[in-house]
Structure 1
Amino acid sequence: MRKKVVALVAVLGALAAGVVVARGCSGDGTSKETGPVKPGHEKIAAGTSRDDAPRPAGSAVAIVAETSARPEKGAEVVFSATWGGTRLNELGRSRPDEANPEAPMSLAMDPKGNMFVLDQVNGRVVRIGPDGKPEAVIPLKEQEAAQDMAVTDDGKVAVLDRYNSKSIVMYDDKGGVLGEMPLEGEGLDELGFVTGVFVDGKDVYVEKEHGPLLRIGTTDGQPADRVEVPGRPTRDGLSYIKAGIIEPEVGRMYISSVDRTTMQHRFTREYRQGSEIRGILLLDTDKTGTIYLATLLVQNGQETVILSCHEPLKGIPTGTAVLPVNTMPEETFRDMAVLDEGGVVYSVRTEQGVSYQKYDCQ
């Protein structure tokens, strides 16, 4: 399948003032402005920003037409697990009477093709090898409310717990604790506004309200001077990116990029999805810098997940895919991870268990 994308017009100048950006989500996935982000709600708005899209004078803003895509068939299954106990082929699921149901909160990939699953219900991270077989378990240290994680190139794991330990704990590739970095401090007044943890080289960052990132520490687990960057770092080392929703009802959204060396605005490109946007599920890049964006749309009364790929320096679309929709009630934080070589691993949940499936743009 090839994505049929037509660029309608390139408009010189900034987007008009008064852009409305979706700032959070309700429990049913609909976008709305909120206060502190509640646990588990972030997955619908990952990558969105409380700030308007950057619109410096003289910058180019591109308007891109609606795209069409057909459902993917025969997706490659990377790993499957049943709901249950603590065996390596099982993952925890919780459905308490008086609290939100939970499934594994997050997943991440390392450059070697290992997949890491945050099984916070069982208090652990499970590492799955490139062959799809579980290899090891990292027990979590006093992180009863762990929600997100990031993995370094050499297999270290940074685990975010906003509400219990209120910290990021850094684990080595054997599961040993390297150090703990407190979240509270300069530049971070409300922990509920933390929307993810990210690793860039030897630095560990948290994202604030789906916008700028704040350095918290280093990959050896030590706190560091707090420095803010304007978005998520791309894996080719060239840019910082963010995305946001302009008008959810009519499907208007944007991707924005800043040059990492000069800190100058690179592009802001508007996309029109052609139907209501419920939220942004993924914003990340592969090693070449290709931007991967996944959005939850409502088409003909039904929810649809659209994965799209974009060229890194101008944001030009290069392909799409249609992914299955998770309809289970369990709250999660990050359901997708991009591989260094390209493609996306997606956590698809059913009543029987969870399947981690690989998709790519066509």
Structure 2
Amino acid sequence: MRKKVVALVAVLAAAAAGVVVARGCSGDGTSKEARPANPNGEKPASGTSPEDAPRPMGSAVTIVVDASAPPSEKGPEVLFSATWGGSRMNELGRSRPDEANPEAPMSLAMDAKGNMFVLDQVNGRVVRVGPDGKPESVIPLKEQEAAQDMAVTDDGKVAVLDRFNSKSIVMYDEKGGVLGEVPLEGEGLDELGFVTGVFVDGKDVYVEKEHGPLLRIGTTDGQPVDRTEVPGRPTRDGLSYIKAGIIEPEAGRMYISSVDRATMQHRYTREIRQGSEIRGILLLDTDKTGTIYLATLLVQNDQESVVLSCHEPLKGIPTGTAVLPVNTMPEETFRDMAVLDEGGVVYSVRTEQGVSYQKYDCQ
């Protein structure tokens, strides 16, 4: 379900600093504060203390969302749907053990050609779905029973992260062959439970540490490298490293921060204030133009909502927003959203019947 952006108004050019304030409207049209959440790695992260949070910079901006507007009759575009069950191409695994966390497909990624990759770790595989929405092939996972995340290169190679069983990243080629395996343990990474995602940038493979810096640990050919750290997630336009975090969850305070990639100089940190409690950041990524996509899980009056916002690359100013459905299923997942190169977000929406991969965008 989408919500129409009614206004995007710049207010108060602050002399030294400013904030981004997000406000929404309730169903009866009265103005209410809205509110976002925490970075990718798809589990709500703990808040950052106000003393430790980056200092906000820039002008204050208000986003007004018409929450009373009726949803589009057309609805989101469904790119692929699967039922729960066995291991056929149009089925995905779901596990609900008595004494462990229930699981659904852990991660989702898109390549530059519009192919979708679904990490179906319950069935020990990655399913590749073509741009036409039809499943094309599967990649069997090599001794990665605890696979949780993956990243895909522009040419269709797949990096699969397993923190607890193989304790490695395995690189697969576009046909499913194993290119190589990079161990996670080593310099710069003492606790594997702190790894919050795997990312590829050109020929480099990175792991993220506690939703903060990224550690380069290998190549897309599956070879280990001398480990180096970068200050955030690389943007797809090649210009920046970005990160996001929560300052005060209950107060709805969070931030987006950007570092210039060429100079490694801080570009901006923009505080975002939303009028609801922040439960988690569900997405932080960019499209090919560098537009930042941020999805946050909010709660107000015991009602949860997912808010997607888009931000201009070099200043972080919001350019649009949308409200997405909330996944209420109990299954544990790692990454429910992926940004397309051309813009827009693919979101895995789960029900008791199965999972639907739907496309949304800011308005």
> Same fold per TM (> 0.5)?
yes
What is residue 68 of structure 1 aligned with on the other side? Answer: 65
5 Å-filtered alignment, 1:22-171, equals 42-45=41-44, 52-55=52-55, 60-65=57-62, 67-70=64-67, 72-73=71-72, 74-171=75-172
> Taking structure 1 as reference, are residues 5 and 44 closer, same or farther at Cα in structure 2, changes over 3 Å only?
farther
Deviates more, 1:68-77 or 1:264-273: 68-77
Structure 1 contact 81–90 (Cα < 8 Å) conserved: yes
| Residue 274 of structure 2 is aligned to residue 277 of structure 1 | no
Q: Give the whole-Å Cα distance in 2 for the aligned partners of 1:248 and 1:111.
A: 35
- Summarize deviations over 1:236-265 as a string: whole Å, max 9, x none: 000000001111112111100000000001
Whole-angstrom distance in 2 between the partners of 1:128 and 1:52: 42
In the alignment, structure 1 residue 241 sits paired with structure 2 residue 233: no
Task: Indicate whether 1:224 and 2:210 are aligned.
Answer: no
User: Structure 1 53/9 Cα, relative in aligned 2: closer, same or farther at 3 Å?
Assistant: farther
Deviation at 1:273, TM superposition (A): 1.2
**Kindly tell me: are residues 299 and 4 of structure 1, through their superposed partners in 2, closer, same or farther at Cα, counting changes over 3 Å?**
farther
The change in CA–CA distance for 1:240 and 1:251 in structure 2 (over 3 A counts) is same
CA distance in 1: counterparts of 2:320 and 2:226, whole angstroms? 40
More strand by share: 2
- Per the TM alignment, residue 343 of structure 1 is displaced from its structure 2 partner at its CA by 0.2
Gaps of 5+ in 2: 20-35
Q: 2:9 aligns with which of 6, 10, 29?
A: 6
Determine the structure 1 residue equivalent to 2:305: 304
SS in 2 for 1:192: helix
TM-score (norm 1): 0.88
- How far apart in 1 are the matches of 2:234 and 2:64? 27
User: C-alpha separation between the residues in 2 aligned to 1:47 and 1:173?
Assistant: 37
In structure 2, what is the Cα distance between the partners aligned to 1:247 and 1:72?
A: 31
**How far off its partner does 1:141 sit?**
0.1
CA spacing shift, 1:47–1:343, aligned 2, 3 Å: farther
Give the secondary structure class of the aligned counterpart of 1:263: coil
Q: 1:72 to 1:334 in 2, by over 3 A?
A: farther
Q: Give the partner amino acid of 1:43.
A: E
Going from structure 1 to structure 2, the CA distance change for 1:85 and 1:224 (only over 3 Å counts) comes to same
Distance in 1 of aligned mates of 2:244 and 2:353: 34
* Residue equivalent to 1:37: none
User: What is the aligned partner in structure 1 of residue 254 from structure 2?
Assistant: 253
Q: Deviations over 1:110-168 (max 9, x none)?
A: 01000000000000000000000000000000000000000000000000000000000
Change (3 A) 1:79 1:320: same
State the alpha-carbon separation in 1 of the partners of residues 212 and 290 from structure 2: 19
TM-score by length of 2: 0.88
Amino acid at match of 1:4: A
Return the alpha-carbon distance in structure 1 between the equivalents of residues 217 and 201 of structure 2. 12
> What SS is found at the alignment partner of 2:245?
strand
Q: Match for residue 20 of structure 1?
A: none
Could you tell me how far 1:13 is from its partner in structure 2? Answer: 4.9
One-letter amino acid of the structure 1 residue matched with residue 285 of structure 2: D
- Specify whether residues 250 and 65 from structure 1 end up closer, same or farther in structure 2 by C-alpha distance, changes over 3 A only: farther
Relative to 1, partners in 2 of residues 1:31 and 1:78: Cα closer, same or farther, differing over 3 Å? Answer: closer
- The 5 A counterparts of 1:302-341 are 302-341=303-342
1:267-300 superposed Cα distances (whole Å, 9 cap, x missing partner): 1111111111111000000000000000001133
What is the RMSD computed on CA atoms of the aligned residues? 2.3
> How far off its partner does 1:85 sit?
0.3
- Kept in 2, the 8 Å contact 1:309–1:361? The answer is yes
Q: What residue is the counterpart of 1:350 in the other structure?
A: 351
Q: Offset of 1:62 from its aligned partner?
A: 4.0
Q: Give the Cα separation in 2 of the matches to 1:47 and 1:122.
A: 32
Q: CA–CA distance in 2 between the matches of 1:164 and 1:12? A: 52
SS at match of 1:121: helix
How far did 1:66 drift? 5.4
Identity score, percent: 83
Q: Secondary structure at the match of 1:118?
A: strand
State the match for 1:214 in structure 2: 215
* Partner Cα distance (1:201, 1:260) in 2: 14
Structure 1 residue 15, shift from structure 2 partner: 8.9
Q: For this pair of structures, how many residues does the alignment match? A: 338
TM-superposed deviation, 1:191 = 0.2
Q: Tell me the CA shift for residue 301 of structure 1.
A: 2.6
Instruction: Please say if residues 64 and 270 of structure 1, whose CA atoms lie closer than 8 Å, have aligned partners that are also in contact.
Output: no
Deviation larger for 159-168 or 44-53? 44-53
Which one-letter code corresponds to 1:44 in the other structure? K
Which AA in structure 2 matches 1:206? V
CA apart distance, 1:46: 7.2
